[in-house]
Structures are given as C-alpha cells and as structure tokens.
Structure 1
C-alpha cells in the first residue's frame, strides 16, 4: 500500500467525465467544481485528471491502458474514481483495471458518489464496493443503510470550488429564484406554479440538461438572488442536493422543502428556512421578501456554515486520514465480482485464473461443476426484442439505448419487416456481436414479427423495446434485479415516460402503469407498458404460450389471435405478475404510429375476441373467467377509444367503438373512466359539439356515470346554450361544486341577455332584475377574493362589461343609501373587474 509522505503534498489521480453526460454539445461537466477544483483552490494537494469521455472521443478506445500507465508514472497517494452510472462500458474503467490498480499497484481507491436518487445507482455503488477502500457519499447515507459493508462508506458534505461559488456582495436584483431542472419533478413544477399563481414571480434557470447555463452564469443566479428555492425529492427518494450548498455559499437565503437530510448539515430557521407545503411556501416567501434584516441574517449564517462544510482542505484531509488508518480492500469480494464479468466478455482464460484463485483461497465457494454454476447464477442472459419497419426516424435512439445498458449480458434480437427506407443501413452501422438481425416480410403484421423474434430468443429473461421506444440506462439491470428479488413471479413491469417522436419528454407526461389485476387485464381495462416488461422465458414456455401461438401462425386457415394479449394473459393465469412503481423506459406517442390507425385498431378487436375465447374455452379455465366474456368484449372496444381520438383523430370511429362497447356488458367504472377521459380531451380541444354527440350516446342507454351531466353543462355553456346547461346540471344530485357552477351559468344568462343589457345601458332596473342582480352580487361578495377572481375570469368580455355597469349603478345607490362596508366591497369588485379586463388583449 502507498505510504503517505508527511512532508510533500499528497498527489491524487482523478478519473471522470470532461463533458456533461459525456457529450461535448452539452458543455463542460461540473466535475472539476466538486472534485479536484476544491483540492487545487485549498492548496492542500496536487492532482492529475484523466477524462474518460474525451479520451474515447480522441482515440476511439477505452482509457484502461492509459489509466494504468498514468498510475505508473505518477504513483498517486489515492486514485479517485468518479464512476459514470449507466454509461456505455467503454466510458468507465473495467473492473479488472481497478483490480490491477488496487491489488498489484497497491494504490488505494476512493469512489465518489454524488447523486444516488435511484435504487439502481445504489446497486452500482454496492457492485464496485469490493474493489475500493472507501466510498464517499455526498448524498443521503441512509440510501446505503442496508449495505453488507457500511464501514466502507464515509458521508461528507460535497467539496465545492469557492473560486466559482462565493458571495461577491453585489446588489441582489432577483427576489426569488430556482436554479435547476423541473422535468420530470412534479413537486418543483407545482411549487413554482403555486407561487406564480399568487403573484410571486420565480426566476427559473439552470438545470444540468434543461435550460443549461455555463457554470459561472449558473453561480451568478445564486449571487443575484435574495432567496433560492430547492426541493429534495428525486423519484421516490429524498436526496441532499448540491444546490443547497451552492446557494448558501453565494449568499442567498435557502428556502427548501422540509426533509430529513438537510438538517444534518444546516440548522433549520437559523441557517436556512424549510417549508412544509404550498401554503407554507407562499407565506415564507412573502415574509422573508418583506423582512430583509431577518433574511440577510439567515443567509449570512448559512454562508458561514457552507464555507465550513465545503472546504476542500478539510474534505480531502478527512479522506486521506480514513484511507491511511483503515484500508478496506476486499480481495475475496473482488475475485467473486471479476470472474463472471470476465467470462461474460468471453475472456475465458483470465476468468478461469480468477475462479481458480477464488476456489483455492476461499474453498467455501465449492469446486468442480459448481464453478460454472457460480457464473450462471450471477449473470442471466437477457434477450431484448425490437420490431421495426421503416423506422429510420427512431431506430437509432432505440438501438443505442439497448446497447448502452449498464447490464451488458444481452442478446439483441432485431426483427425487421423488410424496411425500404434507411432503417437497415442504420442498424448495420452498429458493429456489436450482441445484435442478431433478421429482415423479412411479415404477412401477419407486427404480431407475426414479434412471434418470430420470440422464437429466436435464447435468454433466460425476455424484454421488449419497440423501434420508437427507449430503455433508460439501468432498465435491464432493473429487470434482472427485481426478478431475482421476486423469484415467485413470472414477469414484472414498471412505469414509462410518454415522449414525442424525437424522444423528448413533454411537461406533465409521466405514464405510470396500473397495478396488475388479472380480471381487469383479461377485460383489457388495464394495459402494462410493454417496454417496461420482463418475462422469465421458462414461465412463457410452461404456460403453453409458444404452442398456442405457433399453432395459428403455422396454419394457413386458422384465424389469428392477439399475441400481446396472449403474452400476458396466458402467463398471468398460471403465475403471478408484479407491477413495480419505477420509471424505467420511454415510449413515443406520435401520428406516425401504425398501431394507432383506425384500420389497425378495428382489426385488433376480432383478434382480441379470439384470444379471450381460446382462454375461456379451455377445459381447465375457471368459471370466473368464462363469466367475463361480455365484459371483456366491451373492454376491447373501450380501450381503443383514446387512441382513436388522440392519435388517429377519428371521432366517428370512436363513436362507433363506444356504441359497440355498450351493446355488451361494460364495467361501469372502466366505462366512466373512458368516457370522462374522452370528454376531457374533446373539451380541451374545444370540440363541444362532438363532446355532446359523445355523451348523448351514453345518456340514451340510461347508464349513470358520475359528473356526466355537469361535464355536459360546461360544453353547452361553451356553445352559449345556457338554459340547456342549467337543465343538465339539475339532473345531477346537487353538491357544493355544482351550486357554484349553477351560479356562474345563471350569471352568464343574466349578463349576456340582450334585453337586460339594454335596460342596464339606460340605467333602469326592473324589480325582478334588481333582485336577481342583488342575489348575484351578494354571492360574489361572500366568496373568498381568489374565488371571485377565478369566477370573473370565466366571464366573457360582454359579461364583464355588463357586470361593471351593474356595479357602477349600485355604487351610486349604496353611496346614498347603503353601508360603507358594502360600498367598499363593491369598489374592490369594480377594481377586480378592471384588472381582468385590462389584462386581456
């Protein structure tokens, strides 16, 4: 092991990325600011840095040999590994290289983990752990509380280069800022929108990939801010954000969502301010923007604390002391890790040497035939299937997402339907032995292509990733890990993000899947996300799936069933299927999708019916399944309606589907969901006439769907058919929300009635109209001011002008006869109307 020189400064060797996400187009990574930058700024030590991504871009090869040579030349006191989770394998050093550096060159290795917001990131840290002496966590250490070696973890606040993040003592011209990404962080979006709705402006900038700023400009936002916001949730975990330290170093007051991590480093209400919910956020933002002295004192104490926590000399001193006093290299664990990894890359000779060493020195592992069993149990082969035909616009993203998986023991089955565009040329650009490409016509369409791909799979696990879908970097590892964790289940699936055709995730489009329910699936009332699904091959075979599907694809006369329905249904009837709420993939929703055309969707109905009939007519089928027949037939039609409306823009076809579904026995809850979703879509598109046609179909069946009549009332109101709207509301049991809607409709009728407007313009009030107007104004005045504002915003310009005339006329009357309290309320109301009218173009 290296002996630390007590006189000369320690020398460290860093390895990491030069560019954000390894891509020069995204600009420099922030690595220097949080690793060797603080070391250099403190003057505590010297360093070398090997950028793995830049090396690969320059030389088109991994940096392993260059890294070993650099270790020999510089003989560092510590090798600092900043692993790039989820990156292609060639952009991280191999495990064998780390073994050589630690075992043979005797250089201590320290791994740094800055952001462990997902379980697969924790898993990556745990995987590398045997090869390192120390793993430094600058995030929540609670993520590692189940580690088998907690003694190898050291929790430190992140070092930060204070030449970049500091307080320049300049005038702060930004009241409230948020520096960071908001996609896909619903709590951030909600919090910012809540503040803006209350008239509190939030300066939004930054983010690693979203609205990305140069590092100096990113820091400048904090320097200019009086208050900086922060939220700590990433996915399902609470994490410690670097933003908390960056903002306080720059002298901004930190206003952060309440969590259990930040108080470990900063004192709440002394060095930063936590908020509990949206109301608390609004109240505290307003309070500290008004009370400068208190805000400045909290910001000052926060800055002083951050300077103590982020000092590079203290940080690296603690790490050097920890490595010097208790080196924790795990040779046995390293050998266990290396053997199957090397065998996976077909380096059988080296793997054999490691296995022999392992079995000789640690005989508990076993010998003889158990050697191969060790490897087989460690790394199951995963078959990933991609179907494509004329997919030149999306196939590249799909392929790269599969080939760049952090779990590499994959065979990649690509089944092409004789593409005539550039799809095949793009596929052939990838010289990867894992790709198994077949291109041939598919007379049976995508279902036949899928079956052909399935028959070519040799893996223990099968995953699906269509040509316009993408895996996230950890998707396959997620599938393997969770199937291993749940040996009782035959398949798992998770959540996906909905994207456009270019793979971009629009705001507000996470697509969580429903929990598994066999009955609902058989009736097509839920649909797992295909690209998040992983099946055990053995269970597919045991379920009879292959024999069943083969029978109708080998027959020239037998009509086809729906293979994707059979895939889940036949397995799900015999074995458990598990939904795991993790976002693991992306699927596209776009107009070019062949699967969403009217002709394809209508052709699927008889296939689905044949699939259900095959299952329910099986002699071993349960009576409970047989009894679902007409509910399932209805569900097959209802499930198509959303795609017909949103993707195919086929309103008449959607009506046909609805009528056919109603001729069977639909589940009322599923029917309600489909109808309300369709109505919302039509309303949002301003298709009020189509909306009414759609709901008329339901009303004629005498089915009761909650809130259907109020929804119709809104559509009728859009068409200015107010009397019909009121009648529609009165068909629904009245509740508080409906009273409010009824009042607004009455307001529309009164104020947009030409006769009433003519009377108002002449300043004359009939007794009946006066009573109605007094009733309306009293209703307005008894509401909260924000409710009044919201109600008035729904009125047309004509209505607002009429109401303004009413208010002005009443002001004349109340000035003579009314109370001052009522007069003041009328003045506020008049002012609110003027504000709304003035804000409109």
Structure 2
C-alpha cells in the first residue's frame, strides 16, 4: 500500500494543484462577475451624474487600501497620501478605504457611486501601494470610468509587474503618477504616454532639519527580516566594525513619522537599500525623508534617485551593499566631506521635495491634454 501511494504521489500532487487552480480561477471569475453586474446596475441608476461644479479649489476623492496592524497609530496610506494632501492645502478631499474581501469590494463600489453623486469630485485618485487585487477588477474600473464624470488618476507607490499589468487593463485611466520608479511605466506602451514620475509627497512640517550635533552615527528605519534579511546582515557587519547603528521601523519596531524624523535629525548617516537584483530598483520615501532632515544619505547609485539627487554631491553612492561598512568607516575619517555632501543633499531636497511641491505637480499633470501627458525627468 505504501509503495502504491508513493508511486501515485506525483500524480495526486498534480491533481490537487490543478484543482486548486481551477477553484481559484472560478472564484475570481465569479467575484469579477458580481462586481461587474453591480457596476452595470449602478451605472444605469446613476446614468446622468452632473460634472463637478466650479470651485475655488478642486475636490478630490482619495481611494486607498486600509491596513492598520496592532499597535500602529496610523495606516501607511494615510501617512503617505492624506497627511501630505492636508499639508499641501491645494484641494479638499474625502478618503474612502477598502480592505480585502468580495463583500468589501461590493460595498466599496456602491459607496463610490453614492459619494460621487453627493460630492461631485473633480478628480478620483486611486492609490496603489501593494496588491491591486484588493481593489475592484480592471473590467469593473473600465465600466466605472465610462460612467462617472470624474476622471480617474492613479497614484502608484509600488511599480511592481502585477500593478503595471493591472493598470494596463484600464485604458480609461487619465494619468498615472509613479513615486517609486519611472522605468516600469516608461517601458509600458500602454502607460508611458500618460505617466509621470515624481518624488514622494513628504510632509516638510514633519521632516525638516535642525541645528546641533548629530549624536547617532548611522540609522536605518525599515524592514530587516524575511525577504529583507540581507539588510540586517550588512548593518550587523557595520556594527561589528565598530560603528553603532540605530535600527528601527518595519513591522516590529514601527514609530510615528514624527519620531522617525527626530531619529533622522539626530543621525549623521541614513542608509537606504533601493531594491534587490531580481526586482525593480526604486526610489522610496526614505531618500526624501533623510535628506530633508539633513542627514547624509548613503544610497545605491540609483538611476531613479539620480533623477532628484546627484551621486557624490548630494548623497554617497554604493554599487554593492557589501561596500557600505567600508564607505562609512572611510567617511568618518573625513568630517569635512560628510558635511559638504550632507548640506548639499539637504539643500537639493528642499528645492525638489515636499508635499506642496509634489501635489501641485500631480494636480497640474492631471489637467494636461492627453498628448502632453508624458513627464519623465
């Protein structure tokens, strides 16, 4: 009997794998059908929604996911998009959030139509920062865009292939603003013509420099476990070489934006890891936050970061993470060089970064005619 089971095991495994695929595919088709059916019903019900009225400032409808782990004060989408919108003060807005599950998607679609009827937004902003499957299916968005008078603009914080593929299936999108990487949208024949790459909208009322000594030599705030274990290993090597490193952030040691900014203001160096070789290279918010706080940024010689900051002038580049410990030790022997790069990076950040600057560019870009949309630095 054991021999029989052993001989049949590969076939049984393939069968179970096939059944799992069929079940998942069927579930997705059913859910997509439910979303589309509801959208068609609502499209007929709200067939004659008027366009947005004339306003002194535009009114936006901000659509984000919602994930608030235990112990967190604010969800990351709120910190990134809502706080910066409030600081910029260029538009009023209402935020709608969505969590996983088909029932939540259906409620989200109903609420979207009702909110558009009541508030008549000038622009709908769809903020993608993780798995786009949280949001309605692409076919559903197509129907929504065809029916609602407000244009749909996508705020893309994570330009991974599945997000790009998702957006390529919604040609009705009026514009895509990427804040992590220009290349994925630029390389998409369906998105390049209506895409722009901008820096993260960082709140300068939170992230700002201050005079005085920097008591920490090196800081890193971010994930260091699981797929990001390589970060912890490099930081451990740096510590073993005699350089103390402040490590925080991530899921286990998350701090408020205010506390993070205080850590950066107290740090001489902030280390950034831009991505892994098997994934896209990104310029994440840590680059803007660190330089706005006046820290000397140590960053991969990153083509995305180089659109805003100059290597060896505004930040210290590395080509391999194994170089980081030696780079730090060498620079600590050259305080004048540290100060020169640190101050240059801070001044460049103050010119380029900030919530008001980024949101003004987002709103201006949304108003451009389609043939003038492309804007890659």
TM-score w.r.t. length of structure 2: 0.75
Query: 1:266 & 1:312 partners in 2: Cα distance?
Result: 17
Mapping 1:69-148, distance limit 5 Å? 69-83=114-128, 85-86=130-131, 91-95=134-138, 98-116=141-159, 118-127=160-169, 129-148=170-189
Mapping 1:382-531, distance limit 5 Å? none
Q: Tell me whether 1:243 sits opposite 2:291 in the alignment.
A: no
Superposed CA deviations along residues 92-147 of structure 1, whole A, max 9, x for unmatched, are 2454653454322211111111122x4323323333x4131111111221123431
1:67 is matched with: 112
Q: Secondary structure at the match of 1:28?
A: coil
Query: 2:108 & 2:231 partners in 1: Cα distance?
Result: 39
Q: Tell me whether 1:299 sits opposite 2:365 in the alignment.
A: no
Total equivalences in the alignment: 319
C-alpha spacing 1:85/1:232, structure 2 compared with 1 (3 Å): closer
Shift of residue 59 of structure 1? 8.1
Query: 2:321 & 2:184 partners in 1: Cα distance?
Result: 27
Q: Secondary structure at the match of 1:160?
A: coil
C-alpha spacing 1:164/1:101, structure 2 compared with 1 (3 Å): farther
Query: 1:94 & 1:121 partners in 2: Cα distance?
Result: 12
Please tell me whether the aligned partners of residues 283 and 302 of structure 2 are also in contact (alpha carbons under 8 angstroms): no
C-alpha spacing 1:18/1:186, structure 2 compared with 1 (3 Å): closer
Mapping 1:204-603, distance limit 5 Å? 204-207=247-250, 209-234=251-276, 235-277=278-320, 280-327=323-370
C-alpha spacing 1:64/1:187, structure 2 compared with 1 (3 Å): same
C-alpha spacing 1:162/1:295, structure 2 compared with 1 (3 Å): same
Unaligned runs of at least 5 residues, structure 1: 329-841
C-alpha spacing 1:28/1:19, structure 2 compared with 1 (3 Å): farther
Superposed CA deviations along residues 637-664 of structure 1, whole A, max 9, x for unmatched, are xxxxxxxxxxxxxxxxxxxxxxxxxxxx
C-alpha spacing 1:120/1:93, structure 2 compared with 1 (3 Å): closer
Q: Tell me whether 1:166 sits opposite 2:166 in the alignment.
A: no
Q: Secondary structure at the match of 1:325?
A: coil
Unaligned runs of at least 5 residues, structure 2: 1-49, 372-377
Please tell me whether the aligned partners of residues 240 and 262 of structure 1 are also in contact (alpha carbons under 8 angstroms): yes
Shift of residue 86 of structure 1? 2.8
C-alpha spacing 1:84/1:190, structure 2 compared with 1 (3 Å): closer
1:179 is matched with: 221
Mapping 1:657-806, distance limit 5 Å? none
Q: Secondary structure at the match of 2:128?
A: coil
Q: Secondary structure at the match of 1:237?
A: coil
2:31 is matched with: none
Superposed CA deviations along residues 623-682 of structure 1, whole A, max 9, x for unmatched, are xxxxxxxxxxxxxxxxxxxxxxxxxxxxxxxxxxxxxxxxxxxxxxxxxxxxxxxxxxxx
Please tell me whether the aligned partners of residues 175 and 226 of structure 1 are also in contact (alpha carbons under 8 angstroms): yes
1:515 is matched with: none
Please tell me whether the aligned partners of residues 105 and 135 of structure 2 are also in contact (alpha carbons under 8 angstroms): no
Shift of residue 26 of structure 1? 5.0
1:16 is matched with: 64
Superposed CA deviations along residues 203-229 of structure 1, whole A, max 9, x for unmatched, are 11112x243223332332212211001
C-alpha spacing 1:83/1:237, structure 2 compared with 1 (3 Å): closer
Q: Secondary structure at the match of 1:65?
A: helix
Query: 2:137 & 2:281 partners in 1: Cα distance?
Result: 31
C-alpha spacing 1:18/1:37, structure 2 compared with 1 (3 Å): same
Query: 1:191 & 1:103 partners in 2: Cα distance?
Result: 50
Please tell me whether the aligned partners of residues 105 and 136 of structure 2 are also in contact (alpha carbons under 8 angstroms): no
> Over alpha carbons, which structure has the higher Rg?
1
Q: Secondary structure at the match of 1:185?
A: helix
Question: Which has the larger share of helix?
Answer: 1
Query: 1:237 & 1:214 partners in 2: Cα distance?
Result: 27
C-alpha spacing 1:165/1:33, structure 2 compared with 1 (3 Å): farther
C-alpha spacing 1:154/1:2, structure 2 compared with 1 (3 Å): farther
Query: 2:53 & 2:290 partners in 1: Cα distance?
Result: 35
Please tell me whether the aligned partners of residues 272 and 298 of structure 1 are also in contact (alpha carbons under 8 angstroms): yes
2:34 is matched with: none
Query: 1:125 & 1:309 partners in 2: Cα distance?
Result: 28
Superposed CA deviations along residues 451-507 of structure 1, whole A, max 9, x for unmatched, are xxxxxxxxxxxxxxxxxxxxxxxxxxxxxxxxxxxxxxxxxxxxxxxxxxxxxxxxx
1:197 is matched with: 240
C-alpha spacing 1:155/1:114, structure 2 compared with 1 (3 Å): same
Query: 2:178 & 2:342 partners in 1: Cα distance?
Result: 26
Please tell me whether the aligned partners of residues 301 and 311 of structure 2 are also in contact (alpha carbons under 8 angstroms): no
Please tell me whether the aligned partners of residues 315 and 341 of structure 2 are also in contact (alpha carbons under 8 angstroms): yes
TM-score w.r.t. length of structure 1: 0.35
Shift of residue 230 of structure 1? 0.8
Q: Tell me whether 1:153 sits opposite 2:195 in the alignment.
A: yes
Query: 1:164 & 1:53 partners in 2: Cα distance?
Result: 28
1:813 is matched with: none
Q: CA RMSD in A?
A: 3.0
Instruction: Identify the structure with bigger relative contact order (alpha carbons < 8 Å, sequence gap 6+).
Output: 2
Query: 2:165 & 2:138 partners in 1: Cα distance?
Result: 15
Q: Secondary structure at the match of 1:130?
A: coil
Please tell me whether the aligned partners of residues 194 and 370 of structure 2 are also in contact (alpha carbons under 8 angstroms): no
2:6 is matched with: none
Query: 1:327 & 1:277 partners in 2: Cα distance?
Result: 40
Superposed CA deviations along residues 773-811 of structure 1, whole A, max 9, x for unmatched, are xxxxxxxxxxxxxxxxxxxxxxxxxxxxxxxxxxxxxxx
Q: Secondary structure at the match of 2:211?
A: coil
Please tell me whether the aligned partners of residues 126 and 154 of structure 2 are also in contact (alpha carbons under 8 angstroms): yes
C-alpha spacing 1:238/1:301, structure 2 compared with 1 (3 Å): same
**Aligned structure 1 segments of 4 or more residues deviating by more than 4 angstroms:** 1-5, 23-27, 58-61, 94-97
Mapping 1:5-44, distance limit 5 Å? 5=54, 8-20=56-68, 23=69, 27-44=73-90
C-alpha spacing 1:220/1:110, structure 2 compared with 1 (3 Å): same
Query: 1:2 & 1:135 partners in 2: Cα distance?
Result: 22
Please tell me whether the aligned partners of residues 186 and 195 of structure 2 are also in contact (alpha carbons under 8 angstroms): no
Please tell me whether the aligned partners of residues 17 and 29 of structure 1 are also in contact (alpha carbons under 8 angstroms): no
Please tell me whether the aligned partners of residues 181 and 211 of structure 1 are also in contact (alpha carbons under 8 angstroms): no
